[in-house]
């Protein structure tokens, strides 16, 4: 960060690596899928680049890592953090939480977008106009249900960070989770309703960064670009 923002806590959004369904565009909620070999390579590459002492995600500066209970997220954490993750876990700084589970897709589990729309139309619902951010998923989660669990997690994160807006104590947080869920988290972090039209992309194995403006817990922000620490 720049000098004026130095010390401001950050939240790192770490999406799991590629799976067969993420590669094919299928909605993957509760289904347990392993990372593909390419997905493991994605995570190992990003982890080697950004996780470690003096790197962007410095284990010594982490207050907590929250991980989705899905195996693909658990494996991503293990690969990206390696021994650092084991040490943080021993210190009680790693926890699994259902609040980071992927959006519950219900009837749409395993389907592609065009299949979802076709199915909705066959059931007399609006197919072409379907928007998960507004309409949620049949027999799955509504946008309001996802909002509630993410808002609860944000409260916990504020508990780590509110008293440390100027770097008084290292309190960065990492979330290891899923594509839809982390984009939903970003909307709620910025205090936008789910239906707010904010187009976002997050590649498998990629990392996003959230923080605050003016060292103020009431001014959440996202970094559209991030500077990497200078290696001594």
Task: Find the domain containing 33 and state its range.
Answer: 11-222
Annotated binding-site residues for substrate read 28-29, 72, 102-105
**Residue numbers of the chain with a pLDDT score lower than 70:** 1-4, 6, 230-232
State how far the Cα of 82 lies from the Cα of 74, in Å rounded to an integer.
Answer: 12
pLDDT digits (tens, 9 = 90+) for 63-117: 999 999 999 999 999 999 999 999 999 999 999 999 999 999 999 999 999 999 9
Residue 231 lies in a domain: no
pTM of the model: 0.94
188 falls within a domain: yes
When divided into structural domains, the chain yields a total of 1
Over pLDDT 70: what percentage of the chain? Answer: 97
Q: Is residue 5 part of a domain?
A: no
| Residue for token pair 């993750």 | 85
Helix 71-90 and helix 37-50, axial crossing angle in degrees, nearest 10:
30
Note whether residue 6 is domain-resident: no
* Contact partners, residue 24, CB within 8 Å, separation at least 6: 112
Q: Name the binding residues.
A: 28-29, 72, 102-105
For the chain, list the strands marked E by DSSP: 11-15, 62-67, 94-96, 172-177, 207-212, 220-222
Intra-chain end-to-end CA distance of the chain, in Å: 17
Residue 229 inside a domain? The answer is: no
pLDDT of the residue at 2: 53
Residues catalogued as catalytic: 16, 102
pLDDT score of 167: 86
In a domain, 172, yes or no: yes
The reply to whether 227 falls in a domain is no
64 within some domain: yes
Domain of 74, CATH number, reads 3.40.50.1240
């Amino acid at each position: 960060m720049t000098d004026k923002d130095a010390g401001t806590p950050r939240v790192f959004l770490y999406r799991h690596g590629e799976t067969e369904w993420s590669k094919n565009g299928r909605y993957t909620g509760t289904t347990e899928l392993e990372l593909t070999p390419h997905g493991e390579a994605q995570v190992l590459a990003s982890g080697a680049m950004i996780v470690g002492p003096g790197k962007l995600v410095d284990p010594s500066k982490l207050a907590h890592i929250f991980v989705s209970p899905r195996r693909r997220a658990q494996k991503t954490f293990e690969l990206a953090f390696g021994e650092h993750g084991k040490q943080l876990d021993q210190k009680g700084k790693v926890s699994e939480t259902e609040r980071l589970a992927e959006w519950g897709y219900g009837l749409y589990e395993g389907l592609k977008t065009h299949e979802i729309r076709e199915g909705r139309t066959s059931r007399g619902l609006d197919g072409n106009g379907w928007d998960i951010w507004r309409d949620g998923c049949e027999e799955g989660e509504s946008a309001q249900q996802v909002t509630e669990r993410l808002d609860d997690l944000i409260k916990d994160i504020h508990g780590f960070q509110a008293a440390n807006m100027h770097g008084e104590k290292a309190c960065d947080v990492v979330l290891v989770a899923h594509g839809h869920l982390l984009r939903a988290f970003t909307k709620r972090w910025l205090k936008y309703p789910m239906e707010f039209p904010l187009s976002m992309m997050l590649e498998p194995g990629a990392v996003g960064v959230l923080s605050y403006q003016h060292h103020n817990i009431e001014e959440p922000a996202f970094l559209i670009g991030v500077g990497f620490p200078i290696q001594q």
